[in-house]
A and B are shown apart, each in its own frame.
Chain A
Amino acid sequence: MTSPRPIATSARPITSPRPGVRRSRRNTVIGVVLTALMLFPVYWMLNVSLTPQQDMRKTPPDLLPLHPTFEGYRAVLNDQMPYLGTSLLIGLGTVAVTLVLAAPAGFSLAKLRPRGGGVLSLGLLIAQMVPGIVMAMGFYGIFLNLGLLNSWWGLIIADSTIAVPFGVMIFTAFMAGIPDELTDAARIDGANTWRAFWSVVLPVSRNALVTVSLFSFLWAWSDFVFANTLDGGGELRPITLGIYHYIGNNNQEWNAIMATAVVASVPAAALLVLAQRYVAAGVTAGAVKD
């Protein structure tokens, strides 16, 4: 994703630079148009979040927020702050649980060759295929019996099930690429396996750490299925439920709903910026093996 290869892939042999440059410019124009089309819903979300209530059902709708209002965002500040805080807490908790479980396991699967490692890997792959709604129903019964329903840390446990198998797979793929000499050198210096993992392998695996953290945060932040089934009536409810109840309760104030949606999208935007540096390498290492 970082270093573009020299432009040798163009169809016809380039005789003069002119047509190539022109074609590149044309491609850029097409690309910008396609991107604009693709991102129109995102733009529309922003536009509606700034539209005054009385203009909401106007025909034709205002394509540009010429008379922006911030009443939607004011509503977010008044109503949604606790939900945002809960989501932050649940997101960070999920990241912690995921990293603590996935990083050592990935290290073991990649470097220590535990017996039954193949079966475990297969199990993780299958675990990713279980529909969230099925997990939610199973969790509901368990949480009901244990009295964990409507608790924020019960939701952390449930949300972590989305991220842990993915995390182990990313760590395994990444750590398998770390040369053995590195850990061997640490071992010769007298470090035990834990030390080798903690002070040699983990620091080198920064890309994988960032990738797994970002995705597990994003998934926990975005989770709706578990939140709605396991935390529907809790004191601390996440932002996805905040939006959902907004839609249910005041069907009319779409600028407030869309303003909440914009705020709830901020972590995704942050991820996108960071993605350029870390995630691409991590995900493609896990997704498509060369």
Chain B
Amino acid sequence: MKRTTVYDRNLKAKREVSVSAFHFLFSEIVQYCLAKANSDAQELERQLEELGQPLGAKFLELVCFRDRNSKKDINIIECLRFIHGPLWKTLFNKNADELEQNTEEHDTFMISEKEPSLCNQFACLPKGDDYLNCGAFVAGIIEGILASANFPAKVSAIFKNDEESRKTVFLVKFNSDTIDGNY
């Protein structure tokens, strides 16, 4: 009998695991990074971003392969729409909430998501401690996608509190030479 390998897998098939499995794994990863970072919040976020980055390229390939309407890397706006729409749908089973361009700094875009999000639902500090956002992991994934689509950018996850709700804003700041001529 022929052994099945990774290459024989049906790429179109959609698989799921329980969200609890993800939460426990993610929680343990955060604890590991926190110890490595000597409890420094910025360093923890950096490590989570770094862990997210390699996922970007993988999901870009997979989502484009599955969804013929998502063409790769046309221009920056298309790419951001791809992240905000099909990618978010694949990762989190919903669209992100808003996609906006900063009116003053044109090289900066914002993708926002209402809390609780997957990474922050349980992995959060008490109220008032907004300096740490575990969505940094997702910021890393976005960064990875943009990098493999050849639009390098710096992405960071920050909390934004309105009167009633709380959201995470993914701040996408493109490198200056990326923005010229691509948009």
Q: Do A and B belong to a common assembly?
A: no
